[in-house]
Amino acid sequence: MKIALAQLNYHIGNFEANTKKIIDNIQLAKDKGADLVVFAELAICGYPPRDFLEFDEFISLCETAALEIAKHCIDIACIVGLPIRNDILQGKDLFNAAYFIENGQVKAVAKKALLPTYDVFDEYRYFEPATNFNCIDFKGKKIALTICEDLWNINDNPLYVSNPMDELIKQQPDIMINIAASPFSYTHDDERIQVLADNAKKYNLPVFYVNQVGAQTEIIFDGGSLVFDADGAMKAEMKYFEEDLQVFDLAEVENVRNKYPKPERLTDIEQIHDALVLGIKDYFRKSGFSKAVLGLSGGIDSAVVCALACRALGAENVMSVLMPSKFSSDHSVNDAMDLVNNIGCMHEIVPIKEAAEAFDLILAPAFKGLPFNLAEENIQARIRGIVNMAMSNKFGYILLNTSNKSECAVGYGTLYGDMCGAIGVIGDVYKTQVFELAKYINKDREIIPINTIVKPPSAELRPDQKDSDSLPEYDILDKILYQHIERKQGSKAIIAQGFDEALVQRILKMVNIAEFKRYQTPPILRVSPKAFGMGRRMPIVGKYMA
């Protein structure tokens, strides 16, 4: 049996495009001699469809698309994911399911049993868990077909009380096939490989795993579909961050073991870079936009975002707006212009000194002679937000937010100023990682000016301002934030690692009280195991660690 894994980039709710893509790849797999082609979890509608699933018409369109796909499954079978209705009144109205289609007909249906509700997942909101499991007979082989999470209950701290494979193995299958929508984080590829290898070894069966690729707003899927032999040795690893279709001979996987050359793995920063470029590209393409705008300050955050946007969209589609104030240093303007010249993007220079002075004038009676403070600093940031949004409205540009994760964590940003935008590009990238990204972007030639990388970070909203005036040094701050956010450690546990007690308490308080700001920021491209947004749900007025 020859099995094709089709790793594709779907568009949520775009049934016409998804159906055509699936049909085209059925034909491609047939041309390559495949007997079976396998598509991802909820491929027909795209993942995650969220509350689209509450519309009956949406489910009907999924079924209509599946019937159209079935017409093309002649002389080749396919497995494809979609939501289907639950005919039993009790329980949720839908199943997360997979159709096995052969000779133009749906011959079998597999339903997902383990429905994740952690981090970015919320599947039990919509789906009923499966309780009955049956293998699928095809070309003299028994296939144990599972969906994503159904193979993940294999670690030392299981989330679920049952395992679908423990039931399916009783029917003596010959092969496991798992269809998935497994989101990217820079730690997840290694975890995924280990989980699938453990399944292969536990059940002594080869595993064929297909993941989707592409970004759906803030969630990025990296592909990396995999094949393992029954010893748990990886036999194939498909492309990351790209569509791919490959055909595998089951007999070779079964009979030729432990002869797969292990590829060189991408570093965390390489993965983050590729994920962010894909995230920007798909946000624009799937939203029907082509041109971006951002404020370019001469600092490292906006420089990195500008470089990433140019790689994703083309430099000719990126507008950088330089908005110097009376506190902006000459080198900041020069650094920003050096980047523009290095990268070839569009630019405008819009000084904000007069606008800031106008606000000083009209607010003087209300401010009653009080000294310059955060209010005036934030007015400058909000003027820049107004200018960026004006460019967006006038020319149809989409505003990119340039706040990093360290700033988002501690609230070091201005609401309706530098925190505005349609998509947060580096809001899940700590400041120390931003520096690493800049160096990686410069690996072949200088794109981001060296001075931008080496100079002390500054918001330049008051004379001689430095980030370190308000925040701990980023190498210390980011370590504490990582322990708290990604590793979910409280103050006592972090202090026990040797960090200063007063500093830990101060940082955690800043994180907690900044929650109201994060509720009002744009969606953030997710690249870490725990990103701000839908995967981290905190009360705004909670007292814990405040």
Quick one: pLDDT at residue 254?
A: 86
Residue 216 within any structural domain of the chain: yes
Asked, for residue 487, whether it belongs to a domain, the answer is no
Alpha-helical segments (H) within 210-299: 250-255, 268-287
41 counts as catalytic:
yes
Q: Which residues contact 334 (CB under 8 A, 6 or more apart)?
A: 298
Strand-strand pairing, 346-349 and 318-322: parallel
- Same domain, yes or no: 290 and 318: yes
Claim to verify: residue 276 and residue 261 sit in the same structural domain:
no
Three-state SS at 499: coil
pLDDT of amino acid 546: 47
Nearest to 521 by CA among 421, 448, 454, 431: 421
Are 112 and 162 in a shared domain? yes
Of the residues 135, 148, 310, 345, which is catalytic? Answer: 148
The reply to whether 222 and 278 lie within a common domain is no
The answer to the question of whether 295 is labelled as a binding residue is yes
* CATH number of the structural domain spanning residue 414: 3.40.50.620
Active site residue 460: no
If asked whether residues 193 and 84 sit together in one domain, one would say: yes
* 538: in domain: no
pTM of the complete model = 0.95
Of 212, 232, 265, which residue is a domain's last?
265
**Domain termination site, one of 265, 288, 311:** 265
Its domain, for residue 460, covers 271-467
497 part of a folded domain? no
Q: Are residues 302 and 183 located together in one domain of the fold?
A: no
Q: Could you list the beta-strand ranges (E) of 118-164.
A: 136-138, 141-147
Same domain, 139 and 102: yes
Catalytic residue among 41, 149, 237, 460: 41
User: Any known ligand binding at 308?
Assistant: no
Same domain as 155, residue 25? yes
- Of 420, 438, 467, the residue at which a domain comes to its end is 467
**Does the residue 257 lie in any domain?**
yes
In a domain, 250, yes or no: yes
- Asked whether residue 88 falls in the same domain as residue 186, the answer is yes
Provide the pairing of β-strand 423-424 with 398-401: parallel
Provide the residue type at 516 as one letter: F
Q: Which residue positions in the chain have pLDDT lower than 70?
A: 258-262, 329-330, 459-462, 545-546
β-strands 94-102, 105-111 pairing: antiparallel
Sequence-ordered list of residues with C-beta below 8 angstroms from that of 226, at least 6 positions apart, any chain: 192, 193, 196, 207, 209, 234, 236, 237, 238
- 279 in a labelled binding site: no
Q: How many domains does the chain have?
A: 2
Instruction: Please check whether residue 130 lies inside any domain of the structure.
Output: yes
Buried b (16+ CB within 10 A) or exposed e, 426-449: bbbbbbbbbbbbbeebbeeeebbb
pLDDT at position 461: 65
- Dist CA 40 CA 145 (whole Å): 12
Same domain for 336 and 350: yes
The CATH number linked to 138 is: 3.60.110.10
**Is 11 in the same domain as 78?**
yes
For residue range 250-282, what is the model confidence (pLDDT) as tens digits? 999 988 776 666 678 899 999 999 999 999 999
Q: At what angle do helices 374-395 and 353-367 cross, to 10 degrees?
A: 130
Q: Looking at residue 112, what is its pLDDT?
A: 98
Say yes or no: 93 and 227 in one domain: yes
pLDDT in tens, 214-262: 999 999 999 999 999 999 999 999 999 999 999 999 999 988 776 666 6
Does the annotation count 62 as an active-site position? no
Domain annotation covers residue 98? yes
